[in-house]
């Protein structure tokens, strides 16, 4: 018979995960490295309705453990009976026994989760969601329930909700193949192809024979008109699961690589007034494919054609902005990012890219405002912090700029742009020796870059007694 200890649920969150995603965990700005603050925030985020939650720190990992208050023996008997009926596919009898178990002990996570799985398998997604929401209110660190909750929302095509729950599950247990697989699905549907490919790749690293991940990668490369890569992954699926429906789909999907060239040429003849939804999607995919191959002018042409008939696509405006940023059309790229933000102001990457455009345009006050918003929405990567710190110093906020640049270097210790500008700040605060050490590190990088020459010149001015 089960005991409270046998029903313990454990999860683990790496400190690096929290430092990379502080907004997701609702950690106050610049407090993500304060262990006490983080523990308090995690305790508040995962506070259970019943039972006890314990949080400890071991080897830079926050270990979370939930234990229920009590176990009802008669409820357990109904539960074990339900499990046996389910194994024999006597689902109605299984459901009745789990319902009886829940009547006696409505907060038992095992009963809620087991019944939710059965409802999910029978395509009763609303019923499954209701049970899982109860389960995660009782035990908020139940990463399996969170994952299944996200998958239910995928089935209902509510991808933003699905992303939240699957990410929560993933952060609590980052070795689950299914979380990577389903994040790949979500990002594919949201057309965040770079993130989708990253998730599918991580999935195959954990499970090299996961055919669904290779199929996901094949479909993305197919949409991006990278025929060679798509065919490679389709063939991988066929090899892994030769007699499956996935293999049948992959066999039908393999095409000659020459078709891509014909498709690109014929697209020039499309009448934009009579363009179909399929042709619009083709223009979008071709724009992405050209972008990934460095053909930015051609990519921007495709995106502009796509946006003429699809002007409310925020992601399309963002991608056009990215291509224009790379062709040096800075005012135009900034306008595209602003339009993307007007259509969808909840994506940190839009603000980050706008900040980059404004940085190149020399608009420091605007850069500070925009990048602050980007970081509030989760974009606290090394580049965002670097540009934020640089522009703070442009506005004579030297101490603030130094602090932010130091944060950027914690994210990426080999960031020469952050090093150089941090050295500039340290010179202004009369810490020449620290500045000299940073400049020396830049000089020691093995690759050639203009910033190495700048570092050498700045170091010489220090040596000559600046």
pLDDT at 422: 92
CATH code of the domain in which 445 resides:
1.25.40
Count of other CB atoms within 10 angstroms of residue 363: 17
The verdict on 90 and 200 lying in the same domain is yes
Is 132 within the bounds of a domain? Answer: yes
8 Å CB contact between 338 and 354: yes
Name beta bridge partners: 63. Answer: 12, 56
Is 439 within the bounds of a domain? Answer: yes
Three-state secondary structure call for residue 10: strand
The verdict on 83 and 47 lying in the same domain is no
CA-based angle 416:420:421, to the nearest 5? 120
CA 260 from centroid of its chain's CA atoms: 30
The verdict on 100 and 131 lying in the same domain is yes
Measured CA to CA, the distance from residue 97 to residue 75 in angstroms comes to 9
Q: What is the domain count for the chain? A: 3
The verdict on 110 and 231 lying in the same domain is yes
The verdict on 146 and 214 lying in the same domain is yes
pLDDT at 260: 39
Is 297 within the bounds of a domain? Answer: no
Domain region containing 214:
73-257
Please identify, among 213, 239, 257, the residue that sits at the C-terminal boundary of a domain: 257
Is 168 within the bounds of a domain? Answer: yes
The verdict on 36 and 56 lying in the same domain is yes
Is 156 within the bounds of a domain? Answer: yes
Measured CA to CA, the distance from residue 330 to residue 183 in angstroms comes to 33
The verdict on 101 and 207 lying in the same domain is yes
Please identify, among 257, 279, 296, the residue that sits at the C-terminal boundary of a domain: 257
Please identify, among 232, 257, 282, the residue that sits at the C-terminal boundary of a domain: 257
Tens place of pLDDT per residue across the chain (466 aa) = 455 557 899 999 998 888 877 778 878 767 767 888 888 888 999 999 898 999 999 988 999 999 998 888 899 999 999 999 999 989 899 999 999 999 999 989 999 999 999 999 988 999 999 999 999 999 999 999 999 999 999 999 899 999 999 999 999 999 999 999 999 999 999 888 888 999 999 999 999 999 999 999 999 988 887 888 888 888 899 889 887 888 888 887 776 443 333 333 333 333 434 444 555 555 665 666 666 567 778 888 888 888 888 888 888 899 899 999 988 999 999 999 999 999 999 899 999 999 999 999 999 999 999 999 999 998 888 899 999 999 999 999 999 999 999 999 888 888 888 999 999 999 998 998 898 888 888 888 766 667 878 888 888 887 765 4
Contacts (Cβ under 8 Å, ≥6 apart) of 182: 147, 150, 151, 154, 162, 166
The verdict on 44 and 86 lying in the same domain is no
The verdict on 410 and 434 lying in the same domain is yes
The verdict on 113 and 247 lying in the same domain is yes
Is 311 within the bounds of a domain? Answer: no
Measured CA to CA, the distance from residue 428 to residue 173 in angstroms comes to 45
The verdict on 20 and 161 lying in the same domain is no
The verdict on 210 and 241 lying in the same domain is yes
Is 371 within the bounds of a domain? Answer: no
Alpha helices by DSSP H, 139-225: 143-155, 159-172, 177-189, 193-206, 211-223
Element (H, E) at 57: strand 52-58
Is 305 within the bounds of a domain? Answer: no
């Amino acid at each position: 018979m089960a005991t409270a200890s046998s029903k313990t649920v454990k999860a683990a969150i790496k400190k690096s995960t929290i430092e990379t995603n502080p907004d997701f965990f609702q950690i106050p700005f610049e407090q993500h490295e304060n262990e006490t603050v983080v523990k308090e925030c995690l305790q508040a985020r995962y506070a259970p309705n019943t039972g006890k939650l314990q949080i400890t720190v071991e080897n830079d990992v926050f270990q979370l453990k939930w234990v229920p208050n009590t176990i009802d023996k008669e409820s357990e008997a109904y539960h074990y009976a339900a499990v046996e009926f389910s194994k024999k596919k006597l689902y109605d009898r299984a459901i009745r026994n789990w319902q009886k178990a829940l009547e006696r002990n409505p907060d038992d996570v095992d009963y809620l989760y087991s019944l939710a799985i059965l409802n999910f398998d029978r395509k009763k997604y609303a019923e499954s969601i209701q049970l899982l929401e109860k389960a995660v209110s009782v035990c908020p660190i139940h990463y399996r329930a969170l994952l299944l909750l996200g998958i239910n929302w995928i089935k209902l095509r509510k991808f933003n909700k699905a992303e939240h729950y699957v990410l929560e599950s993933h952060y609590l247990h980052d070795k689950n193949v299914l979380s990577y697989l389903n994040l790949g699905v979500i990002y594919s549907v949201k057309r965040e192809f770079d993130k989708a490919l990253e998730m599918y790749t991580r999935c195959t690293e954990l499970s090299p024979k996961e055919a669904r991940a290779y199929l996901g990668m094949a479909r993305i490369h197919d949409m991006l008109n990278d025929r060679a890569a798509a065919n490679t992954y389709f063939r991988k699926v066929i090899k892994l699961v030769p007699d499956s429906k996935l293999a049948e789909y992959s066999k039908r999907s393999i095409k000659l690589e020459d078709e891509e060239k014909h498709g690109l040429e014929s697209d020039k003849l499309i009448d934009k007034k009579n363009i179909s939804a399929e042709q619009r999607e083709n223009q979008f995919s071709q724009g992405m494919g050209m972008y990934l191959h460095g053909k930015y002018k051609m990519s921007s042409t495709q995106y502009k054609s796509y946006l003429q008939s699809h002007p409310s696509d925020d992601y399309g405006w963002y991608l056009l902005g990215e291509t224009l940023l790379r062709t040096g059309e800075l005012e135009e790229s900034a306008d595209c990012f602003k339009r993307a933000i007007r259509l969808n102001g909840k994506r940190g990457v839009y603000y980050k890219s706008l900040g980059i455009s404004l940085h190149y345009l020399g608009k420091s006050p605007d850069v500070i405002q925009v990048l602050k918003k980007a970081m509030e929405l989760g974009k606290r990567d090394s580049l965002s912090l670097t540009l934020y710190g640089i522009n703070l110093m442009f506005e004579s906020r030297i101490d603030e700029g130094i602090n932010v640049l130091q944060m950027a270097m914690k994210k990426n210790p080999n960031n020469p742009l952050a090093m150089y500008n941090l050295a500039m700040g340290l010179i202004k605060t009369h810490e020449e020796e620290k500045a000299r050490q940073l400049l020396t590190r830049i000089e020691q990088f093995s690759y050639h870059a203009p910033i190495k020459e700048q570092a050498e010149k700045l170091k010489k001015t220090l040596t000559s007694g600046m």
